Amino acid sequence: MLKAALDTSITCNLLIYRNDEKVFQGTLDSQSRENDRNLPPWLVETLAGLGAALNDVRQWTVGTGPGSFAGLRSGIAFIKGICMASGAQLRGVPSCVATAQQANPKPGQKTGVIMDGRCGQILLAIVKDGRLHADPAALDPEDLLSTHYQCDVWITPQPTLIPPLPESVQGNLKKVDCIDITPLILDTTTPWPKDWSEIDKSCEPIYVRPPVFVKPIEIKNLLA
């Protein structure tokens, strides 16, 4: 049986297993703004190289962030469409859970996953024992000194993008170039949703900042 994991929170990462054997792991070489266009043919070509098609994947796990708003939405929506057509199982697992495991925390330790929040801020997700410990937040770097955000280990998959951090955090920070999504596909504790209501809830992207609603401008009658 083929099973796959896709994470588009930062870059577009794909992992495919045939039964218990990893048969593909790679990243789409594309600008993030072009992923929604380049992802479908890339998936089709990758699976064709394995002698398979999209419908042959019977289990999909998608990373739910936090991360890029557009990236998460486009990646998750595309996999939802595949599963609606193929009847494959689908679930969502926070991308930061996979990142946290790359820091090799000990049982009971809290791992702070730090990502670029733009405008001098960082996005922080705290993971403990393979689960989100608290809702991710957008913070100023100095906020990491608060006891509320104290962690045992720190990791970032965006070492060249994050702003300068407090020395006590910087000195205990592990830097990786990408997210290894193996923990997403091998997750044995996250259940597989039984219906589309549960699937929608499971795959809802994690947004750190609330959406901003802008009142539409009234359309003018140019012919009046």
- The C-alpha angle with vertex 75 and arms to 26 and 65, in degrees rounded to 5, equals 85
Distance CA 188, CA 169 (A): 31
**Burial class of residue 54 in the structure, from the number of CB atoms within 10 Å of its CB (0-12 exposed, 13-18 middle, 19+ buried):** buried
Percent of the chain whose predicted confidence (pLDDT) is above 70: 91
CATH of the domain at 158: 3.30.420
Q: Do the Cβ atoms of 61 and 187 come closer than 8 Å?
A: yes
Number of structural domains in the chain: 2
Token pair for residue 193? 């949703």
State residue 106 phi and psi, 5-degree precision. -85, 160
Q: For residue range 99-149, what is the model confidence (pLDDT) as tens digits?
A: 999 999 999 999 999 999 998 999 999 999 999 998 999 999 999 999 999
Instruction: For residues 6 and 18, state if they share a domain.
Output: yes
Distance CA 41, CA 30 (A): 12
Instruction: For residues 36 and 71, state if they share a domain.
Output: yes
Instruction: For residues 31 and 111, state if they share a domain.
Output: no
Distance CA 213, CA 202 (A): 24
Confidence at 3, pLDDT banded by 50, 70, 90: very high
Residues spanned by the domain of 144: 103-175
Instruction: For residues 31 and 54, state if they share a domain.
Output: yes
Q: What is the pLDDT of residue 217?
A: 62
pTM: 0.89
Instruction: For residues 69 and 128, state if they share a domain.
Output: no
Q: Do the Cβ atoms of 139 and 163 come closer than 8 Å?
A: no
Q: What is the pLDDT of residue 208?
A: 87
Instruction: For residues 139 and 183, state if they share a domain.
Output: no
Domain boundary among 175, 192, 218: 175
Give 79's contacts (C-beta < 8 A, 6+ positions apart). 6, 60, 62, 90
Q: What is the pLDDT of residue 69?
A: 84
Q: For residue range 118-127, what is the model confidence (pLDDT) as tens digits?
A: 989 999 999 9
Distance CA 33, CA 158 (A): 17
Percent of the chain whose predicted confidence (pLDDT) is above 90: 84
Distance CA 93, CA 86 (A): 21
Confidence at 220, pLDDT banded by 50, 70, 90: low
Within a domain: residue 16? Answer: yes
Give 116's contacts (C-beta < 8 A, 6+ positions apart). 122, 123, 158, 161, 162, 163
Q: For residue range 24-51, what is the model confidence (pLDDT) as tens digits?
A: 999 997 555 667 789 999 999 999 999 9
Instruction: For residues 8 and 72, state if they share a domain.
Output: yes
| Res 162 pLDDT > 80 | yes
